[in-house]
Amino acid sequence: MTREKKKTRRLDPSGWLFWLVCFAVLVVPCNLLARRIQYEDTDLYASVMVSTAVAAISAGFVAWAVNMVVQRREKKRRQVARKKTRKQ
């Protein structure tokens, strides 16, 4: 007698890899923006660190929004499947 394993939901479908891709895409525009708005005597490392932090936070927001959309679609799909099984 074997027990069937329940299917577990993935709560983080896009994950860290998606965040890393978003970060890599956003770091260049953030760096260009930081260099454009800095003073002439500002250290290069300061603008790089600011742009890196802004890109990391922005990538976090993008990954969070994508996760919300994916989780809501998955929840809706499960609810429709549950309704179909109840009607049968």
Q: Of the ranges 7-16, 24-33, 76-85, which is most confident?
A: 24-33
pLDDT higher than threshold 60 for residue 11: no
Mean pLDDT of the chain: 85
Q: Each residue of 12-31: pLDDT tens digit? A: 566 888 999 999 999 999 99
Neighbours of 34 (CB within 10 A): 20
pLDDT higher than threshold 70 for residue 1: no
What is the four-CA torsion angle of 38, 42, 48, 51, rounded to 10 degrees? Answer: -30
pLDDT higher than threshold 70 for residue 52: yes
CA distance 31 to 50: 8
* pLDDT at residue 38 in the model: 86
pTM strictly above 0.85: no
Domain locations along the chain = 15-87
